[in-house]
Amino acid sequence: MKLKYCGLHSLEDVRMAGASSCHYLGFVFAESKRNVQVELVAKWIKQAKIHKQQTVALFVNENLQNIKRVMSTHAFDVIQLHGMENPCFANQLRKETSAKVWKAIHHGEASLDLMRSFNGSVDGFIVDCRSKKAWGGTGESFDWREVPRYLEEGKRQNVPVFIAGGVNPDNVSKLVLYKPDGIDVSSGIEIDGKKSAIQMARLAKEVG
């Protein structure tokens, strides 16, 4: 089971996550309290000597040129589309950047149909909670009893499915029972709005 620590927004965050047992480091290039500048992130990754983990650049309804500009730094391995992007756009990104592309699906009545529409266009999915507050990182979760349906569709498409939204060290053991391919955590590894090595370690221990 893979772990992704998202919303890293300082050199200290990157060092903490880099020293942890997580598999992916996530950075938000969208309107958010965790928004970061690409030039800084590229420096942080070098300074923290990140080698064992892959890096993920998260975008929300961003245009092609800006995504390509961020990816041209060669600091990121994966593009995460967290807005209303369509399969055609995802395919174009894969061709023009040669990076893996993941699509966030916000849980709802039509979410499985949306997921099916991306068959063959993406390399993975993040299933997140739909919220009026923000596109992600809100600390809200959806009903995890729905997780198996998403995992089944991911297997059909032969791509991994990560579960996000409201995951923290106190409840992650319940999510682990469903055996998702990965778990994506942002606010759940924070204390008072700041990333915490203690929370990262606690969560990793619960995941096992």
Average pLDDT over residues 187-199: 95
For 112-142, how does the pLDDT look when each residue is reduced to its tens digit (9 = 90+)? 999 999 999 999 999 998 655 544 445 578 9
Contact between 61 and 86 under an 8 Å Cβ cutoff? The reply is: no
- Residue pair 97/66 in contact (Cβ under 8 Å)? The answer is no
Non-local (6+) Cβ contacts of 95 within 8 A are none
pLDDT at 208: 85
Contacts within 8 Å (CB) and 24+ apart, 38-47: 38/69, 38/70, 38/73, 38/75, 39/73, 41/14, 41/75, 42/73, 42/75, 43/11, 44/10, 44/11, 44/14, 45/14, 45/75, 47/11, 47/14
Q: Is 64 a residue whose pLDDT tops 70? A: yes
Rg (CA), the chain: 16
pTM assigned to the model? 0.94
pLDDT at 162 > cutoff 60: yes
CB 27 within 8 A of CB 58: yes
Looking at residue 140, its pLDDT comes to 73
The pLDDT mean for the chain works out to 94
Cα–Cα distance between 177 and 172 in angstroms, integer?
9
Total domains present in the chain:
1
Find the CATH number of the domain harbouring 79.
3.20.20.70
Residue 135: predicted pLDDT: 45
Report pLDDT digits (tens) over 104-117.
Answer: 999 999 999 999 99
Sign of CA dihedral 19, 186, 124, 37: negative
pLDDT on residue 134: 46
Burial class (CB in 10 A: 0-12, 13-18, 19+), 140: middle
Report pLDDT for 133. Answer: 54
pLDDT digits (tens, 9 = 90+) for 3-59: 999 999 999 999 999 999 999 999 999 988 899 999 999 999 999 999 899 999 999
Would you say residue 172 has pLDDT above 90?
A: yes
Q: What is the DSSP letter of 117?
A: H
Domain that holds residue 11: 2-207
pLDDT for the residue 141: 85
